Amino acid sequence: MLERFSLKNILENMTMGVILVDSDRNLIYMNQLVTEITGYEIEDVNTLEKGFQIIFPDPDKRKEIKNIFNVKLKDRGHYNAVFPIKTKYGKIKYLEFRINLMEDDYLLINLVNVSERIAQAKELKETKERLEMAVEAADIGIWDWNIKTGKFQYNEHGAEMLGFEKNELDGEFSTWKNLIYEEDKELIEQKLAEYFNGETDTFISEHRIKTKSGDIIWIRNIGRIVEVDQDGSPLRAIGVHINIDEYKKREKEIEFLSFHDELTGLYNRRYLENEIERLSESRKYPVSIIVGDLDKLKKVNDTFGHKAGDEYIVNSARILESVVRNEDIVARTGGDEFVILLPETDRSTAIKVCERIRRRFTDYNAHAPENFSKEFSISLGSCTAESSEEDLGICYNIADQRMYVNKEKNDRG
């Protein structure tokens, strides 16, 4: 069977570069893979000395490598080492040289391109160094995930962030997953899948996690794959997690303030405008809008002071909230102005809501403290858009105009 294959065919189909050097150190054979790796043809490198000169252009480095090469080969008859070489096109590649001294003083040199492996090792080292610097500079923890074995290790600070001693965590990936807040587990799976599928360059997730004491805190997780197998499948990932719980609380407060009125806690004009735009494109018609304006707020401020006026406004907000559904929107749009959005509410229902509001104000006056104004009332106007063909902005303006007509009547009364 072997007779069917020539030695040259075998050498040309090997998965490593092959060079044959005679006793005078002339290159007498070089397979195609060597050319693919280095860019050089055998005509470019016809002697071992010339090979040294072109792949190791630095004379001091070349001398050092040649001395090691000669000593090791003489003592052992073989020599293995990894060196950076310069290719024909000026690129630096890391090659593993496997050199054997053969009969008649011939040399068999095998070359393996290990540039990718070296680059990965370098990236791993640099990543570790960056992480170590980050740990020293900030309040963060480090994790190391062996994807193949399922081992998941925290450094000491990472464990402490969750309320554990490092030895209290068993180092299993499943343990880490079990600590994730239940509602956020699907998000984590999605983020990991996106990263492993190459949709993102880095795994980044903000999620909640349970501490040893049972508290729930927000964590920002950032990680990358640092080791893969020959097929490119991930073997290992490392990353950091940062406690962002205080940041999330502040973010929630800022978000609340950006869409809510500070005095009453109702939604503000910005949120109202967003909701009007959203409802305009929804299927929740008919949509009714009620605009309200407190009566005689200036008189209350002048008579009882602005603190009483603020109480007047807050009590009005509570009354408006009490007469609507959870899905309705109540907003304070100005000093004494309120707006109510009622999705899936027809005209007759909106009128009934207005009647309930007026009754609640009357009831409140009947039970108000003696030192509180008995003129606690609100002027209202409403309008209903029956379908998406009617502009909610125009509907809002009509409700506002109707409110002012009623307000003039109340002021005269």
Residues 143 and 153 sit within 8 Å (Cβ to Cβ)? yes
The residue annotated as part of the active site, out of 184, 293, 295, 336, is 336
What span, in angstroms and rounded, lies between the C-alpha atoms of 18 and 12? 8
Tell me if the bond preceding 343 is cis, omega within 30° of 0.
Answer: no
**Upper half-sphere CA count for residue 245 (Cβ side, 13 Å):** 13
- Record the tokens describing residue 341, joined without a space: 């959005």
What span, in angstroms and rounded, lies between the C-alpha atoms of 275 and 290? 14
Distance from the Cα of residue 57 to its chain's centroid: 46
What span, in angstroms and rounded, lies between the C-alpha atoms of 242 and 181? 16
**Residue whose C-alpha is closest to residue 288's, from 342, 239, 335:** 342
What span, in angstroms and rounded, lies between the C-alpha atoms of 278 and 255? 19
Burial of 195 (0-12, 13-18, 19+ CB in 10 A): buried
What span, in angstroms and rounded, lies between the C-alpha atoms of 291 and 332? 10
Residue 24 bears catalytic tag: no
Q: For 305-319, give the DSSP string.
A: -HHHHHHHHHHHHHH
Residues 350 and 366 sit within 8 Å (Cβ to Cβ)? no
**Residue whose C-alpha is closest to residue 291's, from 375, 402, 410, 412:** 402
**Residue whose C-alpha is closest to residue 356's, from 265, 290, 267:** 290
Residues 81 and 68 sit within 8 Å (Cβ to Cβ)? yes
**From the CB of residue 40, how many other CB atoms can be counted at a distance below 10 Å?**
20
What span, in angstroms and rounded, lies between the C-alpha atoms of 248 and 43? 67
Task: List active site positions.
Answer: 336
